[in-house]
Amino acid sequence: MGVAVGAAVEAFLHHLTVERGSAANTVASYTADLRRYTAHLAGLGIDDLAAVREADVGAFVAALRSGPSPLAASSAGRALAAVRGLHRFAARDGLVPDDVARAVTPPALPSTLPRALGVDEVDQLLAGCIGDGPVALRDRALLELLYSTGARISEAVGIDRDDLDVDGRTVLLRGKGGKQRIVPVGRPALAAVDAYRVRARPALAAKGRGTPALLLNARGARLSRQSAWHALRGAAEVAGLTADVSPHTLRHCFATHLLAGGADVRTVQELLGHASVTTTQIYTHVTVDALREVYATSHPRALA
């Protein structure tokens, strides 16, 4: 003998509230989503939960994503989570013979990669660091380094003075999990860093207690990630590019422009430090000299 959909929903919500002690907001969200599901099944002429098939659950997700007021993929996925929870509960408690929603997958979420700025837009962004004061020179050095090396903001502010090899045109970056990598640095970035080190860093360092950090804040201490992000945002505002700029913008542009310039994916992954342990073993034959050669022929600002 089957169980009415409405009765199964009430039993499930009671289970969430009393037995699992779910938050009120969670129960309210599940209630709204399951009300949609009940209406969907009623439209199919289904009132017995045991009569629901996998295709009916899939049709519910498809209906959420279409029609005059389609839900976002994340919202549809949340509704499916409520439906799967209902069917899992009903099958476990013997209300229905099978969990027909188990294999139904949520809609794919859209990619969150930022839009890559064009080379001209990057030039415009870098030009947004206006002035000859210590902070302006530091910010220009920061942005040039971010675009020239593909470093994460946390990696850029973690650079020490001795990490930069001016003669070899490389810099040591400390990535996630303590991993280190050496990457080439283009001449425009080296010039910006040199201007900062000669004309700005001594004045900033005089206000601090001594630090090996390359990039300093106004108090002479290592520049923070938050301050670096504000510097990027400030340059974007001057350039009129705020809608397209995020902490990863220049890193994303670095990779996109290298690939557009002919660099192979393995080299770009090595430069970005994206490889897993297994993937890193594949890249061990890529030497610093090889990286420098590919970089010099592919990056827009390598030799400018």
pTM of the model: 0.59
Residues designated catalytic? 152, 176, 248, 251, 274, 283
Q: Distance between CA 287 and CA 200 in Å, rounded? A: 34
What architecture does CATH give domain 5-92? Orthogonal Bundle (1.10)
Class of domain 119-298: mainly alpha
Cα–Cα distances (Å) from 247 to 227, 228, 231, 236, in that order, read 11, 9, 10, 11
Contacts 24+ apart (CB under 8 A), 207-212: 212/160, 212/161, 212/162
Would you state the pLDDT for residue 177?
74
Would you state the pLDDT for residue 8?
95
**10-residue block means of pLDDT along the chain (304 residues)?**
88 92 88 95 95 94 86 88 94 93 82 72 91 94 96 96 96 88 96 97 94 96 95 92 83 81 79 57 44 76 73
Spell out the domain ranges in the chain: 5-92, 119-298
Q: Distance between CA 25 and CA 21 in Å, rounded? A: 11
Would you state the pLDDT for residue 192?
97
